[in-house]
A and B are shown apart, each in its own frame.
Chain A
């Protein structure tokens, strides 16, 4: 069953200058379906719009156009109570765990407030028990050690666990995790990812994992799916093993060939993908057609004006006009490609 369906979603930010208004089209015709209970990865470099999309999914931003269906119902046409339910069901884990916790409040009250706000009938003792339960669920044991601490007294990994506990305490169906490990120490990253995977498997939580780090995608998502974003659109979407091992879109190919592999023999012998330019262009000056046109070796004159369409196969969607002409690419070289 599909928990979330996004269709033709567009987002335009308007920034007002002194006497002019500038429109920035940050998300273009996003189509995305998320199955109940899956982990899906949303991958892209800075400025590709992945965080904006995450904020739209969690309801922090309203899209300019397009529909979002949650459990089959359009969220725009819901009444207040249903909206509240949707809000509660879709939660957000932010990137910077220090900024996401109120610096002057103890962990206990940071956790108490949202539980109380959503369950007004609960007594204090019941909430206390819940707080302890969720802190221990995310591996902060014994919970009593952490309740009276301020955010700055915890390590980055512990704070990230507190955030996850806070999100769990609202009993969500879908969690959007925005770069949950990018701000914490390398040695602690894997354990946070493990926790997310565990929550997915044990509680059946659906997770949208937003990241710039392709290396972790396969670890987190496993057999699931991933979407690659570039300058506001999803350029490639499909099963992780297809997208990573046989990328089709020239941007995905370039991205995957750039990820370093912790093995000097493979790393130094893998095929290179050349680009016309290394810099990501400014999204404000992006052409209406394919955003990758100026950097793509296979681009022709028609690409910049191409009407964005999804092509390739049903399971593996690629947004590229010349999809048939792109030579295949495989990280492990030719021998494993057959």
Chain B
């Protein structure tokens, strides 16, 4: 019995040593690949822009996304937000001074939405980054290694997938309040990586049976090399599409988190605007409807942009469609 445990521990130890080596090689390989990527970047970037430009959907989506990115970076400089409350200016109609009117505390609604863009975008990007990074890593490991590794990762991802998200978050909200976007993004991605990991896994599994991967082992090309220079480029467009769509999902989810009260209330976050408008009974006040409509439209616009862009990417990158 004892020997068996020692054996298992040794095996685990060996596994980690191997894993360490693989990661080390992976990092070196990835660094080299990145170098080459940067060297080719300008050329590829221009080709990419050309491709986006020729695809109407992708182009429209790109315009919307660029607009949001621009607002997130420069919006606060162009439209400074004044958080002074004044009940005298409550629910003003749209005018030259207040383009979308004011909210229940007399703040300029348009400025609030612009101000909130940065938070919304950073949550979205962080979440997408974590989701895609972790999901792709797990998917590749489990798809390429197969066997026990695959089963264990499969089990973990199934557990995460079957966790009831809302009840757990409700319970969590009694104990913790998230104060920064980074943590919020981490929590959001905990629930979204397994789906991506699964689809990456199935892609890797089918790619690994393809002739051009099989022949690599006959030609003496190493495993790390196969993963980073043969497999990864083949799923890159898929990853890019998923990045965009998990950004889209993160925005909706983060609004939900604020409504639940798990995340700290940032008054200019689009979700928060909706929540506070609802709490102050804006549904009943015709003049206040804009306080609901404006942030919803902003969310929808971003979603449409994300959907258009990712669909367009799919069309532009799919080699089967590109072949002709």
Chain A residues proximal to chain B, CB less than 8 Å: 58-60, 84, 87-88, 90-92, 94, 96, 99-105, 109, 113-114, 117-118, 152, 166, 170
Enumerate B212-251 residues with CB–CB distance to A below 8 Å.
212, 214-222, 225, 229-230, 233-234, 236
**Shortest 4 CB-CB contacts between residues of A and residues of B:** A114-B219, A99-B211, A100-B211, A117-B221
Residue pair A100, B212 in contact (C-beta under 8 Å): yes
Neighbouring B residues of A101 by C-beta, 8 Å: 212
A-B contact pairs, 16 of them (CB 8 A): A90-B218, A91-B218, A92-B215, A99-B210, A101-B212, A102-B233, A103-B234, A103-B319, A104-B319, A105-B229, A109-B229, A113-B216, A117-B225, A152-B319, A152-B322, A170-B219
A102-B212, A114-B216 given; name 4 further pairs at CB < 8 Å.
Answer: A58-B218, A92-B218, A99-B210, A117-B222
Chain B contact surface mostly: helix
Tell me the complex Cα distance, A166–B220, Å: 12
B4 close to chain A: CB less than 8 A:
no
Task: Verify B220–A117 contact, CB threshold 8 A.
Answer: yes
Q: How far, in angstroms, from A40 to B238 measured CA to CA in the complex?
A: 44
Contact string, B281-308, partner A, CB cutoff 8 A, digits 1/0? 0000000000000000000000000000
Interface on B for A, CB 8 Å cutoff?
A: 210-212, 214-222, 225, 229-230, 233-234, 236, 319, 322-323
Return B241 CB to nearest CB of chain A, in Å. Answer: 15
Q: Give Cα distance in the complex from A113 to B212, angstroms.
A: 12
Contact partners of A166 in chain B: CB under 8 A: 219
Q: Does the CB pair B215–A113 fall under 8 Å?
A: no
Contacts of A117 in B (CB 8 A): 219-222, 225
Closest B residue to A110 by CB, please name it: B212
A87 contacts which chain B residues (CB < 8 A)? 217-218, 220
A146–B233 CA distance with the chains assembled, in angstroms: 21
Name A100's closest neighbour in chain B (CB-CB): B211
The minimal Cβ–Cβ distance linking A134 to chain B, given in whole angstroms, is 13
A-side contacts of B218, CB under 8 Å? 58-60, 87, 90-92
CB <8 Å contact, B219 and A91: yes
CB atoms of B220 and A114 under 8 A apart = yes
| Bound Cα distance from A59 to B210, whole angstroms | 16
- Asked if residues A104 and B219 are in contact (CB atoms below 8 Å), the reply is no
Cα distance A165–B2 in the bound complex, in angstroms? 56
Cβ-closest chain A residue relative to B233: A104
Q: Is the CB of B221 within 8 A of A113?
A: yes
Q: Which residue of B lies closest to A91 (CB)?
A: B218
> Are B214 and A60 within 8 A (Cβ)?
yes
Considering the complex, give the chain B residue whose CB is closest to the CB of A176.
Answer: B218
Pair A84/B319 contact, Cβ less than 8 Å: no
The residue that A84 contacts in the complex, of B211, B220, B322, with Cβ under 8 A, is: B220
Q: Which residues of chain B have C-beta atoms less than 8 A from A114's C-beta?
A: 216, 219-221
Given A60-B214, A100-B211, A152 and B222 contact (CB-CB distance below 8 Å): no
Which residues of A are found within 8 Å of B217, using beta-carbon distances? 59-60, 87
Which residues on B sit within 8 Å (CB–CB) of A88? Answer: 219-220
Closest-by-CB residue of B relative to A152 is B323
Partner of B219, one of A96, A102, A103, A118: A118
Residues of A within 8 A of B219 (CB): 88, 91, 113-114, 117-118, 166, 170
